[in-house]
Structure 1
Amino acid sequence: MSSTDWRTTTTLLEDLQSSPASSAWDRLCRRFRTPVVRFAGRMGLSPSDAEDVAQETFVAFSIAFRGGRYRRADGRLSGWLFGIALRQSLNTRRRNLARERHVEPAARADYWISAPDRRAAQEAWEQEWNRTVLNKCLKRARLEFSDQMFRCFDLVVLDGRSPEEAAQALNSTVKSVYNAKHRILKRVREMRVAYERFDGMDDGTRALR
């Protein structure tokens, strides 16, 4: 994983302001593309529409940011992008419905009833953001621990096996399995706090509690 994935949001925004090059925007898109696309999919959009929403979200943010309408005091960058992604997703749903000229009124009503309300959309966004951050932390943590330790972790934490089963499967000891689980979880929590702090949060350990 590139170290640029762990640049603070403040540094990233400073890069966006000071450099006309696309590299800073590429880093922004790389950090947020996955949760935006997954969120748009949970808003009922097709994969291609979800990709379009991600592109439109970043374009809209670019215009707003360059126009001075986003400030760090406004809150988390991920939260600000959520608002844009939600608007773009709803706009896409409206366009899709407008193209379907022969849709019955009842079907149109059902289409909008099926759209998540803002609270549900917010929860969906938080879930996708947490999932993305956790995956990044796990990927980075794999570079710091042995394959054997991570196999212990995978079996117990990700696959739900008991420490005894994991130890038997890996020809290891139960103590070693517990040790691997503890050390990796501790490191991932540390990474998660750091990564979320980059986004303006004080604590990002919720998904691992």
Structure 2
Amino acid sequence: MQENGHWTREQWERACRGDAAVWDRLFRRYQLPLFVWVRELVRSEEDALDVVQETFARAVRYVDRLRDPERVGPWLFGIARQRCADLLRRRGHHPEGPDPSEEEVGCDLTAAPDPGPSPDEWLIRREDEERFFRALAGLPESQRAVLVLHCLEDFSLEDIARILEVPVGTVKSRLHHARRRLRAECGEPGWEVERKDEKRT
């Protein structure tokens, strides 16, 4: 597996043949990110562990259907999203309907953000970590999912759209609103959640 977590075609072929070493590296690379993201959605560590286990089991079963080995990360998260949806339906929980404003596609996310610490710097400041995750937990489910995938897991907007099965414009808008709400909740008027590559013009 490459450092960025992608598979090469040769690694995918080995995975299709059941190569244990390839699957072990994939598991070690994505086990924790999947668990963190799923836990944010299902709000239960026990259920999150079950979903992650089911996700890898289904990945092994259907790996031959993966069309692009370089997209193995988004593919895994897409499987996990489906497992989360099934779990929430069994609980009798209906996914939150989107805020109408989230469907706007005209938000300009390329403009230079306000100066402030990056997500990594925010988490390194231990005194702020609890406040950050408390604010994150207060976001609507749809916004929380996008923010974690983009800013903490570093997926592109296009990959997130595939994972969540929504238009890219909707992803942009949800991310925009999530950033604004987090900034307000954290009480940092100059703080913005961003990825370093978004500072480029």
TM-score tier (shorter): 0.3 to 0.5
Output the TM-score relative to the length of structure 2: 0.47
Higher helix fraction: Structure 1 or Structure 2? 1
Larger Rg: 1
